[in-house]
Amino acid sequence: MKEEILKKATQLFLNQGFKSITMDDIAREMGMSKKTVYTYYKNKEHIISESASYLFTSITGGIDIICSRKTNPIQELYDIKRFVLEHLNGERTSPMYQLQKYYPKIYQKMRQGQYDYMQSCVTDNLQRGIEQGLFISDINVQFVSRIYFTGMTGIKDEGIFPQSQFPATDLYEMYLEYHIRGIVTPKGRKILNKIIQSNHE
């Protein structure tokens, strides 16, 4: 029952935001009393913390599966982007922005986890891209991996990239193309252009 409540709460948070959803909403969606929800989670912050951890584990698990396929590094980045957007429901209500604003301690913990994971994942992607002749051989891998993380988290700032002007799907697409075009070789550019063309068909 505890995990079922967590899954439902996570879905609600993603659809409507961490701030908007109350314990009453979760109880109503589960068809149970609020008292029952409190049996498993002592307060809203507790369930938000568990939800953030659950979300992080689910997403990194899916990314691990994508990375284990060892497709070419450019295609891998697009596959990861697609998976994350589907998993976060396109972040229609910018849940991470709400988490940062209203629950900063939980956000910082999750952000650190994201950073540690992405450093490993992106570094491996960059090194394989260099080995396969798709990425420029003399790029500073540590610099590029950190810039990628900074940009990927930075574009979630609604103050700079309002959703009315930059829908989530378009924004991630633009940023990923921007990132890859800056480091590809002519060989890699051909693969990138083919993927972009295929996505637009």
| Structural domains of the chain ordered from first start | 2-200 (1.10.357.10)
> Alpha-carbon distance 133 to 184, whole Å?
9
Residue 85 has what pLDDT?
85
Closest-CA residue to 166 (of 94, 60, 80, 73): 94
- Contacts of 150-154 with CB under 8 Å at 24 or more apart are 151/175, 151/178, 151/179, 152/118, 153/111, 153/114
Q: From CA 77, how far away is CA 162, in angstroms rounded?
A: 24
Q: Please answer whether residues 102 and 18 qualify as being in contact, where contact means their C-beta atoms are separated by less than 8 angstroms.
A: yes
pLDDT, mean of each 10-residue run, the chain (201 residues)? 94 87 95 94 95 92 93 95 80 68 91 91 96 97 96 86 87 95 98 92 71
Nearest-angstrom CA–CA distance, 118 and 145? 8
Instruction: Note the pLDDT of residue 156.
Output: 81
- Identify the CA nearest to 40 among candidates 63, 23, 53, 62: 23
